[in-house]
Amino acid sequence: MSRNAIALYVALAFALSWGGQIPAILIFGLDSVVTKAIFLVVMWSPSLLALVFIIRTPAVRSEVLWRLGKPGYLPLGIVVQTAIGFAVVGLLVAAGLASSGWFSFQTAGVTVSGEAWLLGEGMQGWFLFLVNVGLTATVFSVFNLVAATGEEFAWRGFLQGQLTREFGVLSGIMLLAAIWWAWHLPGLLLGYNFPEYPIFGALVLFPLQMIGASLFLGWLTIRSGSFWPAALAHGTVNSIQQGLMDNLQLQIPQLYVDLLRTALIFGVGLVCWFLLKSNPDKGQAKVEV
């Protein structure tokens, strides 16, 4: 697509997103079932819009990374995003700043509570615990594709390729990070993600998270030749990673948890930035579909 077509796509994506987020929160409130239903529709709006552009521009169809690509990358996003969640839990619990509502860690294993874990509760040795976590994370990540696919088909499967071809790999991914952040902006400012400090969350924490996440998901998409690993990673964030955060019993303000989480997400993105920078030609290679 031309730069004008890309700009038109982004402008229309903003209009659909902002036009859904703002009225939903102002009229129905943050916690309303109606608001959550509208937000699910909003999550799908960039992909539905992308389909319109793909239909109207046949040459773009061959560039959309909708096939599975290299299947070996599918579990990587699940593993990394789950590890970030457990890193936050482990660091805070080890420092005595929080306890987990789901886990009690001992030398021999972990006592698991809560009905979310597919291999059950109670005392589990480390191997069984890791299998339990891996299976649960995978199932919930796949389940959350219902929502995550709506964003990731558009951002990674469709738009990222257009941006990296026009602006280069790293510049294109960073531009996508800015678009992704701005697309969320109304909900952020109205307290959807950071209700205790919406301005700081919207203008500092979330941009850093979007940079880190976009670099990781962008690298994952380029290396796999598919948007599906990124969609699974996104589903992991929305399910098990967020669940781990929500089940912390804190002795510190929520801000410190979000700062730690942001630092870890940004750190993973920084590693991917170096990986992309070290081999930019591979990042720009076309994937056969």
Per-residue model confidence as pLDDT tens digits over 190-216 = 999 999 999 999 999 999 999 999 999
Percent of the chain with pLDDT over 90: 91
The pLDDT confidence band at residue 284, using thresholds 50, 70 and 90, is very low
- Whether 283 has a pLDDT exceeding 60, the answer reads no
34: buried, middle or exposed (CB in 10 Å: 19+, 13-18, 0-12)? exposed
CA distances from 282 to 8, 60, 169, 285, 287 (A): 29, 20, 10, 5, 10
Q: Classify strands 98-100 and 248-250 as parallel, antiparallel or unpaired.
A: antiparallel
91 or 278: which carries more pLDDT confidence? 91
- What values do phi and psi take at 69, rounded to 5? 65, -130
Spatial CB neighbours of 276, under 8 Å, sequence gap ≥ 6: 169, 170, 173, 215, 218, 219, 222, 283
CA distances from 81 to 7, 73, 88, 114, 236 (A): 31, 13, 11, 20, 6
CA dihedral of residues 152, 154, 143, 185 (deg, nearest 10):
70
Q: For tokens 């006592």, name the residue.
A: 111
**Dist CA 169 CA 56 (whole Å):** 25
**Dist CA 41 CA 24 (whole Å):** 11
**Dist CA 282 CA 18 (whole Å):** 35
Closest C-alpha to 244, from 85, 77, 117, 96: 85
Q: What is the mean pLDDT of residues 29-57?
A: 94
The pLDDT confidence band at residue 279, using thresholds 50, 70 and 90, is confident
Tell me which amino acid residue 213 is. Answer: A
- Whether 282 has a pLDDT exceeding 60, the answer reads no
The pLDDT of residue 285 is: 38
Closest C-alpha to 214, from 256, 258, 163: 163
E strand or H helix that includes residue 136: helix 126-143
Please state the domain extents for the chain.
Answer: 66-86+139-284
- The answer to pTM > 0.75 is yes
